[in-house]
Amino acid sequence: MSEQTPSSSSAISVDDLSASIQRVTEKLHVIADTVKNLHQSRAQLESKIEDAQKRIQHILSRLPEQSDGRQLNLLGEATPPTNSESDNEPTTH
């Protein structure tokens, strides 16, 4: 049986290994920060989606029934009723 004696090559290997571990540790920190940022972005996007769905639902709730012949006013702006018996007659050219 032969015993391995510590040599300069094994010391270099330990230093290389230590440097590799340091690089991996730094990369893991970068990845962890990136995942954290992505999670926050996703939460913000989900909130925006929920808000948009609420706005859509609000607009849909304001739609008249299909049998209702009135003009749709989805934006909630006041529109004067249209009078089909207007005094203005169409012009012909």
Q: Give the C-alpha separation, 76 to 8, whole Å.
A: 81
Q: Is 35 left (phi over 0), alpha (psi -120 to 50) or beta?
A: alpha
- At 89 the pLDDT is 55
DSSP state at residue 46:
H
- At 91 the pLDDT is 60
Q: Give the C-alpha separation, 40 to 34, whole Å.
A: 10
- At 62 the pLDDT is 86
What's the token pair of residue 22?
């340091």
Q: pTM to 2 decimals?
A: 0.50
pLDDT in tens, 62-90: 887 766 656 655 566 655 556 555 555 55
Q: Give the C-alpha separation, 43 to 1, whole Å.
A: 62
Q: Where do the DSSP E strands lie in 3-93?
A: none
